[in-house]
Amino acid sequence: MKKFALYLIILALAFGGGMFLENIFANDAFKADADKKAEWTSASVKQSSIATTSSKESMTTKETTSSSSTAIASKSKENRTEKSVESSSVSTSKKTTKDTISKARDTKSSQATKETKETKETKTSVSTTQSSTQTTKERTKTAQPVQKKQSQAQTTTSSMQPVIQVAPKAELKALQTIQLQSQNEHFTNSNAAFAFRDLTPTVNHEQKVNHLYLTTNAVIYQNPSTKALKVADGAKYRGFTAISRKSVENEMGIWYQVAFPDTVIGWVQAKQTQNRNQDYYFYTTGGPKPNLALVEDLAIEVSIAKKRVYVKSGDQIIYTMLCQTARAGYETPTGHYQVNDYRATSFWSTFGGADYAVGWKDGGLYLFHSIDKATNEGPYVQSQGLKLGVTRIGTSHGCIQLAIEDAKWFYQQLPVGTPVSVF
């Protein structure tokens, strides 16, 4: 049988049937191959996540298969004269199918690459998220005890801190004002007069020495403003003559800084004073006087250079007053002496005369007394009086001259035997 079939084939080839057999075998083989490839392509396309590409490729595959089947059926029915057309159609179908398969492969490869990339990114993102979450948890665990410790520390510190009471604004302002200038500030601080500018804008008036009598209604302030604090014991200086070396002016008028005679007391308005520049030697120069009979360890010191007499209780100066000493050609003896028993309400000699004399050396030769009088009956020599307290000059023959009220006070109260030091 096989031999017979082989014979037929050879016969067919001999009579021109070779093309027919070739087409039959080719069509059968191609059909089988096309079916397998179409199934593989369809399966591959179905695995793609892109809906549009999968749909288009599936339709293309179906159309190709259908076209191939139609072409094969037509070739079987038609005569062998159409073999060339059928062969061309089959060739075209092969090419189309190969293109489709290639596209499917590319699509699958692209999709697989994309999926692989997305998978990696997803894994990386998940890994990063997990790592971040783990780090956050660790930080939270670490931070919790630290915060707890800080909270405990703050609670402990808060319980240890004292309660601070804030003073009212009025009290704070008062404290600031007190700090501006010390009540007992000496004249050597030239800037003391201008520490009050935060209270009232002020300008200099005149910088010269003035002797001012404080009236009975005078009010002494710590700074040149009625907004400032009053000097606590300022009323006791009323009726006394003070020295002013600074004066300023503001919207409230002219203010004088007053001292007795070197210790600054405060500021007083000009309208509460009377000028005593021409006769201040009549008045007390040190302010309110102590009762010398009550002073313990009483002693007197005289500074020739400063033209001052200091009343002391032990080592403490309790009163200061202006004085004058020997003029050129005469000498006030220096050293340590005692008050003797010589006293006179008035005296006159070839050297002149004065009132309220108290001897402290050689009987009545060296005295404390008032400024000189022009005659035994007076008046007082004004030129000498206006030099009380002025340094580098002298007016006496060696005695210690005082303002009239100060000399009278010594005459009345200075005990015999009181130590006197002159230097």
Token reading at 291: 């009762």
pLDDT value at residue 83: 44
Backbone φ, ψ for residue 284 (5° rounding): -65, 135
CB 239 within 8 A of CB 214: yes
Amino acid letter, residue 191: N
List the single range of 22-31, 284-293, 320-329 with lowest mean pLDDT.
22-31
CB 206 within 8 A of CB 247: yes
Residue 196 has pLDDT above 60, yes or no: no
Fold of 292-422: L,D-transpeptidase catalytic domain-like (2.40.440)
pLDDT value at residue 58: 41
Number of neighbours of residue 38 by Cβ within 10 angstroms: 19
Residue with tokens 């009232």: 200
Strand partners, 267: 221, 257
Catalytic annotation, pick one of 211, 323, 397, 399: 399
**Domain 169-277 matches domain 292-422 at the CATH topology level:** no
Q: Using CA atoms, how far apart are residues 29 and 26, in angstroms rounded to an integer? A: 5
Residue 336 has pLDDT above 90, yes or no: yes
End-to-end CA distance of the chain: 169
pLDDT value at residue 53: 44
Supply the DSSP symbol for 215. P
169-277 maps to which CATH number? 2.30.30.170
Backbone φ, ψ for residue 381 (5° rounding): -80, 110
Residue 77 has pLDDT above 50, yes or no: no
Helices marked H in 355-403 — which ranges? 382-385
**When comparing pLDDT for 314 and 20, which is higher?**
314
Above pLDDT 90, what percent of the chain?
50
pLDDT tens digits, 93-124 = 444 444 544 554 554 455 545 544 544 444 44
pTM for the structure as a whole:
0.55
Residue 27 has pLDDT above 50, yes or no: no
Residue 281 has pLDDT above 60, yes or no: yes
CB 234 within 8 A of CB 223: no
Number of neighbours of residue 271 by Cβ within 10 angstroms: 11
HEC assignment per residue over 321-356: EEEECECCCCCCCCEEEECCCCEEEEEEECCEEEEE
Above pLDDT 70, what percent of the chain?
53
CB 220 within 8 A of CB 258: yes
Show me where the domains of the chain are located.
Answer: 19-126, 169-277, 292-422
pLDDT value at residue 362: 96
Q: Cα torsion at 316, 403, 325, 278 (round to 10°)? A: 130
- Write down the mean pLDDT value for the chain: 73
pLDDT value at residue 44: 43
Catalytic annotation, pick one of 211, 323, 369, 397: 369
Annotation marks residue 323 as catalytic: no
Residue 377 has pLDDT above 50, yes or no: yes
CB 197 within 8 A of CB 227: no
Amino acid letter, residue 135: T
Nearest residue to 208 (alpha-carbon basis) of 262, 248, 161: 248
Which of 138-152, 175-189, 269-283 is most confident? 269-283
Upstream peptide bond of 419 is cis (omega within 30 degrees of 0): no
- State how far Cα 136 lies from the chain centre: 37
**When comparing pLDDT for 253 and 24, which is higher?**
253
Q: Stretch 230-254: mean pLDDT, rounded? A: 96
